[in-house]
Amino acid sequence: MQTFTDQDIAAMDKLTRVQFATSLPGAKPISLIGTTDLAGQCNLAPFSSVLHLGSSPCLLGMVSRPDLVERHTLANLTEVRAWTINHLHPAILDAAHQCSARYPKDVSEFAATGLSAHFHPGFLAPFVAESRFRIGLELEDIIPIPANGTRLIVGRVVLVQVAEENMLDHGGIDLTGVDCLASTALDTYFQLRPLARLAHAMPGQDPQRI
Ligand SMILES: Cc1cc2nc3c(=O)[nH]c(=O)nc-3n(C[C@H](O)[C@H](O)[C@H](O)COP(=O)(O)O)c2cc1C
């Protein structure tokens, strides 16, 4: 097995280091973040850093890069205090990836890629109509990470939209049924294949598949 030290990582050229570092967490969820400013200028950007922070209240986090350049997602959700998470499926992958291009603020990625905005009454941020699994969030907190200038954005889930047939009996959402995707680095995407479900682990008891 090859071993890399922190010095080896620091010595990599920038593109290699980005590919290496963004592979380290393994496959992550990938979704389109939908935002708007108060004037109604909409924005979409793919984010792979969405994570579960708690179930009661239901909280999700995501990490925004440092705002050394304009960050439309971060600016919009700071202004409007709401955003959407729109899970991808294969048919919208290319359009979603294109949303990572640095369009000027007055260009909506909806218009640039042909994706359609869907609005829920009383909720300002746009959903992606083509997504099969969508979440609306309200801003709870933005926590700076001083080590590198990134920010952990904490949101409270206020809306979830998914077809009834994709709800599982135990309360979960059928992620393979909606053909949810995963990603690594900034360019590699995966489909999901279910492996197993295991019962709550207890000391002294063998793992039990259910
Ligand atoms: C697969 C993929 C995952 C990404 N994940 C993130 C992320 O988690 N956080 C982030 O700040 N940018 C992420 N990006 C980069 C943003 O999508 C990109 O910077 C985008 O232009 C931001 O647009 P905005 O300025 O409209 O917010 C990702 C890009 C790709 C292609």
Strand partners, 148: none
Number of domains comprising the chain: 1
Band of residue 138 on the pLDDT scale cut at 50, 70, 90:
very high
Ligand 1 geometric centre to CA of 45 (Å): 6
CATH number at residue 72: 2.30.110.10
Task: Establish whether residue 124 lines the binding site of ligand 1, counting it when its CB lies within 6 angstroms of any ligand atom.
Answer: no
Tell me, yes or no, whether 1 lies in a domain.
Answer: no
- Yes or no: say if 186 and 197 are a contact pair by the CB < 8 Å rule: no
Residue 119 within any structural domain of the chain: yes
Distance CA 124, CA 37 (A): 9
Q: What angle do CA 191, 98, 36 make, to 5 degrees?
A: 105
Side-chain-facing half-sphere of 185: CA atoms under 13 Å: 9
CA 156–ligand 1 middle distance (angstroms): 21
Q: Which structural domain range is residue 41 located in?
A: 27-191
Does residue 208 form part of some domain? no
**Residue 137 domain flag:** yes
Mean pLDDT along residues 135-139: 98
Q: What is the mean pLDDT of residues 44-50?
A: 98
Q: What is the pLDDT of residues 186-199, one digit of tens each?
A: 999 999 999 999 99
In this predicted structure, the answer to whether residue 134 has a pLDDT above a threshold of 90 is: yes
According to the model, what pLDDT value does residue 38 have?
97
Q: CA 23 → CA 34, 87, 185, 193, distances in Å?
A: 25, 20, 5, 19
Looking at residue 108, what is its pLDDT?
Answer: 98
Residue 67 has pLDDT above 90, yes or no: no
CA of 57 to the centre of ligand 1 (A): 26
**Average pLDDT, rounded, for the chain:** 97
Question: What do you get for the CA distance between the two ends of the chain, in Å?
Answer: 35
How far is 173 from 43, CA to CA, in rounded Å?
Answer: 26
DSSP string, 33-64: EEEE-TT--EEEEEES--EEEEETTEEEEEEE
Q: Is residue 200 part of a domain?
A: no
In the chain, pLDDT over 70 holds for what percent of residues? 100
CB < 8 Å & 24+ apart, contacts of 14-21: 18/185, 18/186, 19/185
Q: Encoding tokens for residue 53?
A: 């922070």
Tell the burial category of 69 from Cβ atoms under 10 Å away from its Cβ (0-12, 13-18, 19+).
exposed
Is 114 within a domain?
Answer: yes
Tell me, in angstroms, the distance from the centre of ligand 1 to residue 171's CA. Answer: 30
User: How far, in Å, is the centroid of ligand 1 from the Cα of 173?
Assistant: 25
Q: Give 171's pLDDT tier (boundaries 50, 70, 90).
A: very high
Please tell me if the CB atom of residue 46 comes closer than 6 angstroms to any atom of ligand 1: yes
The atom of ligand 1 lying closest to the CA of 46 is 17
Ligand 1 touching residue 75 (CB < 6 A): no
Indicate whether residue 151 lines ligand 1 (CB < 6 A): no
17, 64, 136, 198, 202 from 195: Cα distances, Å = 31, 31, 29, 10, 21
Query: Is residue 78 in contact with ligand 1, taking CB distance under 6 Å?
Result: no
* 4 domain residue, yes or no: no
Please give the average per-residue pLDDT across 72-101, as a whole number. Answer: 98
Average pLDDT over residues 39-66: 98
The DSSP symbol for 208 reads -
Residue 171 has which token pair?
């309360």
Residue 113 resides in a domain:
yes
Q: Residue 11 C-alpha to ligand 1 middle, in angstroms?
A: 25
Q: Which atom of ligand 1 is nearest to the CA of 62?
A: 8
